Amino acid sequence: MAMSDNACLLSFLETRLDAAAWQWLTDACEKLSTQASERDLFLSFSLAVRKCGKVALTLNDDELIKANQRCTDWSPLTWRTDHAARISLLFSYPHDDAETFCALLDRLFQAADLGEAEALYLSLPLLPFGEKHVARAQEGLRSNVKAVFEAVAHNSPFPRDHFADDAWNQMVLKALFIESQLNPIVGLEERCNPKLTRMLCDYAHERWAASREISIELWRCVGACADDDALADLKRVLETGQEHEQLAVALSVKDKQPQLLDAYPTLHEQLTQGLCWHDLLANVKA
């Protein structure tokens, strides 16, 4: 029998919680699974941070593989012990009926403090009845709290798998607006679309007009669907941009518009040496 989502989360926690915290969590999960009391769920959900702490899970490679086996392209890289404990408690509560579960989830969100809301949004790719949580995910993206926005947008296949293009495009644009990285957004390249390309180029023009810096990640979503106007913007960066901006454009166009790089042998060379977005962003940050 395949490991359940709850068993997977508990396996991550078992080696990271002390004996008292582990005993509290397993007792609480057992009680919720056998004596389904909503009051007990809300109480244990609230107590989880005090009982289990806020320690980064810092999963090893084998554990990340296990996570990916549970949910393709799910990477709980930013999860903490309180996040995993709270979702283990939620999964211990009976959740077979969609209407009942979604109503319970609504009540949890309504009562949640920031940490509890963050845990709930992080759990989106694991929740049953995924198609019923789209509006809730979009609500999280409207938050002015960066941690809540990133709980939905980062390291999660949920937006890629469930968002229509308009919602997807707004998420990518807001990430740039609040200076949240695009690199952790799952499916960034495969969900590129002409409307997003136009939105991003318009945003770039606004930044240029105001003499403001443009995130190099913006160009990542332009090359694949570039029309003539977008190509002109990419050429502008290649001709006048700084090296890290030129490299970003080179990465963006290397598969779909490689002819733009014919006049830039140095950029070609760096691409052939294996340049990737992760390395480029790390170098810029450094």
- Number of CB atoms found within 10 A of residue 93's CB: 20
The tens place of each residue's pLDDT in the chain, 286 residues long, gives 245 888 999 999 999 999 999 999 999 999 999 997 999 999 999 999 999 999 999 999 999 999 999 899 999 999 999 999 999 999 999 988 999 999 999 999 999 999 999 999 999 999 999 999 999 999 999 998 999 999 999 999 999 999 999 999 999 999 999 999 999 999 999 999 999 999 999 999 999 999 999 999 999 999 999 999 999 999 999 999 999 999 999 999 999 889 999 999 999 899 999 999 999 999 887 6
- Tallying the residues shown for the chain, one arrives at 286
- Where are the chain's structural domains? 5-163, 194-285
Q: pTM for the full model?
A: 0.93
Distance CA 142, CA 137 (A): 9
Distance CA 91, CA 3 (A): 13
Identify any residues that bridge with 15 across adjacent strands, giving them in sequence order: none
Distance CA 269, CA 271 (A): 5
Distance CA 93, CA 45 (A): 11
CA-atom Rg of the chain in angstroms? 22
Cβ contacts of 257 within 8 Å, gap of 6 or more: 223, 226, 231, 234
* Residue whose pair of structure tokens reads 């396996």 in the numeric block: 11
Amino acid of residue 225: C
State the pLDDT at residue 243. 95
- DSSP-assigned states of every residue in 65-91: HHHHHHSTT---TT-BHHHHHHHHHHH
Residue 222 backbone dihedrals phi, psi, to 5 degrees: -105, -45
Torsion of CA 69, 71, 75, 81, to 10 degrees: -100
What's the whole-number average pLDDT of the chain? 94
State the pLDDT at residue 286. 61
C-alpha neighbours within 13 Å on the C-beta side of residue 126: 27
Three-state DSSP at 80 gives: strand
